[in-house]
């Protein structure tokens, strides 16, 4: 079984056949670091993290590139508005994105290149495109001549005529003359007070699309396996990347993967410009990070999903069920030896689900089936079978970065934790004595007081356990 993914360009599911056997190169369009990350950005990162981790689990050497757009119109504008240097704003927001990724255990990319660190590569690429007759300089700008590109519009299935018909007038802030309204900027001449870099066409900065063409080739080569990003990037961003790279003679990405967007309560796309964002910081104020990860990752990556307090609550309930099983089964099993053969079917089901266009919903179904079967084995005290079930459940969870033991260890080390544990143990002991002499009124009174304090007791075959409600 090999991984099959939906390819936007061919509009169908295709097997991933790496260009270099055994290794896979992935380029992801990362954020423009202009404002604090919202849960939509995190959903993107989590969805692509599942791709990253599944490729690694499948045995590939993965080069995962996720760029950072650290200079653009909005960054410049917002920084000026804040009375802050543009580079300080982008550095600050880059840090906020990294913190958000770390909070939900998104693997670090192999490299996360920034636009401002790749001006030589960008300028060289533009020169190549001009030399090959596909771009022209005009008034300090450089434009790509869209009509010279064979197959422009293939990714987004747009015809040139249709695009022409809906094309608006020349966008603001461009001083040069386009030969054709469809042409787009590879290089923008500097305006007073804006950051700029020297180039053969005068001081200026890169257009939005060219950076990705340049950085992808820099780190993955002229041909690579997978290019990913949000559905909102298909046109014009990815269409233009394809055009630029084709004009430079690069084969570029083999497969184009696009994930769905997160909607806010009203059903509209969550975005900075619509002002309906829930920031990652806001979400984490009310939702545990592992639950946020579970919730954002639970829907199929290509579907749109809503994020709200209700969705978060459901994720909490579903994930707690998994946590409870892993904890209870772990205690019961101890170091019982694990017979891998007993759990092969579950793993195979899980692997087949992920191989089929990253079918996380079906993969989660396999995990939940394992949990249900495991809980039954726990009740029956069938420890060898339980040990195997627990092992495979945790192995599946680990692929999704959701293992409660290794990846999300409970708050530990704090002196307070030890104190609370000792105090609760004292109360549990007293309640045990009361139960032994069948003084249930007293036992229940003790339990009620713990409940009121936010401590839930469970009487299990392995003794009384407690957790925070």
Partner RNA sequence: GGCCGGGUGGCCGAGUGGCUUAGGCAAGGGCCUGCAAAGCCCUGUACGCGGGUUCGAUUCCCGCCCCGGCCUCCA
**Out of 119, 318, 338, 352, which residue is the one contacting RNA (CB under 7 A)?**
318
Helix 360-380 to helix 383-399 angle (10° resolution) is 160
Q: What letter does residue 35 receive in the DSSP assignment?
A: S
Least distance in angstroms from the C-beta of 106 to RNA: 12
Interface with RNA includes 169 (CB under 7 A)? no
The residue (of 19 and 466) whose beta carbon lies closer to RNA is: 466
SS3 452: helix
Residues in region 366-385 near RNA by CB under 7 A: 368-369, 371-372, 375-376, 378-379
**Beta carbons of 389 and 377 less than 8 angstroms apart:** yes
Rg (CA), the chain: 27
**Region binding RNA by CB under 7 A among candidate stretches 80-88, 282-290, 313-321, 388-396:** 313-321
Work out whether 43 is an interface residue with RNA (CB under 7 A): yes
Question: If binding is defined by CB under 7 A, does position 175 make contact with RNA?
Answer: no
| Residue 299 touches RNA, criterion: CB under 7 A | yes
Give the x-and-dash track for 409-448 against RNA (CB under 7 A).
--------------------------x----x--xx--x-
Residues in contact with 225: Cβ distance below 8 Å, sequence separation at least 6, in sequence order: 16, 18, 19, 24, 25, 26, 253, 254, 255
- Residues 331-350 within binding reach of RNA (CB under 7 A): none
276 class by beta-carbon count within 10 Å (0-12 exposed, 13-18 middle, 19+ buried)? middle
Contact pattern for RNA over residues 232 through 251, marking x by CB under 7 A: xxxxxx--------------
* Cβ closest to RNA, residue 137 vs residue 386: 386
Nearer CB in complex with RNA: 324/336: 324
Q: Give the span between the Cα atoms of 11 and 135, in whole angstroms.
A: 29
Given 94, 105, 199, 263, the residue binding RNA (CB under 7 A): 263
Query: For 51, phi and psi rounded to 5 degrees?
Result: -60, -50
Distance of closest approach, residue 123 Cβ to RNA, in angstroms: 20
Taking a C-beta distance cutoff of 8 angstroms, is the pair 35, 272 a contact?
A: yes
Closest CA to 25 of 162, 218, 175, 182: 218
Would you list the DSSP string of 175-239? -S--SSTT-EEEEEEPPTTS--B--TT-SEEE-TTHHHHHHHHHHH-SEEEEEEEEGGGIIIIIH
Nearer to RNA, 34 or 105 (CB): 34
Q: Point out which span in 18-26, 36-44, 140-148, 241-249 binds RNA (CB under 7 A).
A: 36-44
Q: Which is nearer to RNA, 416 or 441 (CB)?
A: 441
């Amino acid at each position: 079984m090999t991984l099959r993914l939906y390819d936007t360009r061919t509009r169908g599911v295709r097997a991933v056949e790496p260009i270099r056997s055994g290794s896979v190169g992935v380029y992801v369009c990362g954020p423009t670091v202009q404002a604090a990350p919202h849960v939509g950005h995190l959903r993107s990162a989590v969805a692509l993290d599942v791709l990253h981790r599944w490729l690694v689990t499948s045995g590939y050497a993965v080069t995962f590139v996720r760029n950072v757009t650290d200079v653009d119109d909005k960054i410049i504008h917002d920084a000026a508005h804040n009375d802050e240097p543009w580079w300080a704003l982008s550095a600050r927001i880059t840090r906020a994105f990294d913190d958000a990724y770390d909070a939900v255990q998104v693997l670090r990319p192999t490299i996360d290149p920034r636009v401002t660190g790749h001006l030589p590569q960008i300028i060289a690429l533009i020169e190549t495109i001009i030399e090959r007759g596909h771009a022209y300089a005009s008034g300090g700008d450089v434009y790509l001549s869209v009509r010279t590109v064979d197959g422009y519009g293939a990714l987004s299935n747009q015809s040139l005529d249709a695009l022409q018909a809906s094309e608006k007038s020349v966008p603001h802030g461009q001083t040069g003359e386009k030969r054709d309204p469809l042409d787009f900027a590879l290089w923008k001449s500097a305006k007073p007070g804006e950051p700029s870099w020297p180039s053969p066409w005068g001081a200026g900065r890169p257009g939005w699309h060219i950076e990705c063409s340049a950085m992808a080739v820099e780190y993955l080569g002229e041909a690579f396996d997978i290019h990913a990003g949000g559905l909102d990037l298909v046109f014009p961003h990815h269409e233009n990347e394809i055009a630029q790279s084709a004009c430079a003679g690069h084969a570029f990405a083999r497969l184009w993967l696009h994930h769905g967007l997160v909607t806010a309560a009203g059903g509209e796309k969550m975005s900075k410009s619509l002002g309906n964002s829930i920031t990652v910081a806001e979400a984490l104020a009310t939702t545990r990070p592992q639950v946020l990860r579970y919730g954002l990752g639970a829907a199929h990556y290509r579907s749109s999903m809503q994020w709200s307090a209700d969705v978060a609550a459901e994720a909490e309930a579903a994930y707690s069920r998994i946590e409870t099983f892993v904890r209870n089964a772990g205690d019961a099993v101890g170091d019982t030896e694990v017979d891998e053969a007993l759990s092969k079917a579950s793993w195979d089901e899980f692997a087949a689900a992920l191989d089929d266009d990253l079918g996380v919903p079906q993969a989660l179904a396999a995990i939940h089936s394992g949990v249900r079967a495991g809980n039954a084995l726990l009740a029956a005290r069938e420890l060898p079978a339980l040990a195997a079930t627990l092992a495979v459940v945790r192995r599946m969870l680990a692929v999704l970065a959701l293992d409660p033991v290794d990846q999300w260890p409970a708050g530990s080390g704090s002196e307070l934790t030890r104190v609370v544990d000792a105090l609760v143990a004292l109360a549990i002991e007293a309640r045990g004595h009361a139960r032994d002499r069948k003084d249930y009124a007293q036992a229940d009174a003790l339990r009620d007081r713990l409940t009121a304090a936010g401590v839930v007791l469970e009487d299990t075959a392995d003794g009384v356990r407690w957790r925070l409600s």
